[in-house]
Amino acid sequence: MLKEKLKIIIPLAAFVLLIAGASLAYNILSGRTHSPNAANPGRSGEKVQAPDFSVIDIDGNTVRLSDMKGKPVVLNFWASWCPPCRVEMPDFDKVYKELGRDVQFMMVDLVDGIRETVQRGSAYIAEQGFSFPVYFDTRQEGAYAFGIRSIPATLFVDSEGFIAAGVQGAIDEAALRRGIELIK
């Protein structure tokens, strides 16, 4: 019985890894930066207002994206169990330490209550010693507002609240800095 299950599970796991690898390779080989949603508004030069949503901070206080208006915002959706999210976080922390006075970082942990919890996300951030502010999307409000289907996902929002660019997949320090230049 176990051998029969393994005959199904092993090829299925290999297929999932193949798809994940192909997706990662596509993100690396493509330009990465694209319009923030599937409808691609902004191609004709029109500005797209970032949808507002609320999350909670580490102390349980409600914070809204609109609270950040007046400063450019790097909005990143992640989870502690996500390997590509873990890869990009040291670069986010490095750039936050350098530019955090001029650019607001909104690092949003997508908490589903099962795979990701506030406790797991908080513990991961503490273990790694990251200093950027972390917010918890416990009601998936941010994920729904931006149509986040996979993580990590990063959006660059200017000081007036308009989306300048969006990136699906992990980004490195250079891509993060390019995105920030679009909103400064």
The more confidently predicted of residues 163 and 16 is: 163
Q: What homologous superfamily is domain 33-183 in, according to CATH?
A: Glutaredoxin (3.40.30.10)
Burial 143-174 (b: 16+ CB within 10 A, else e): beebebeebbbbbbbbeebbbbbbbbbbbeee
Q: Specify the pTM.
A: 0.76
Q: What sign has the CA pseudo-torsion 167, 173, 175, 180?
A: positive
Q: What sign has the CA pseudo-torsion 110, 114, 115, 117?
A: positive
User: Does 164 have pLDDT greater than 60?
Assistant: yes
Give pLDDT tens digits for 27-85. Answer: 444 444 343 443 333 455 678 999 999 999 999 999 999 999 999 999 999 999 999 99
Predicted local distance difference test score (pLDDT) of residue 46: 79
* Band of pLDDT at residue 171, cut at 50, 70 and 90: very high
Enumerate the domain spans of the chain. 1-30, 33-183
Give pLDDT tens digits for 104-142. Answer: 999 999 999 999 999 999 999 999 999 999 999 999 999
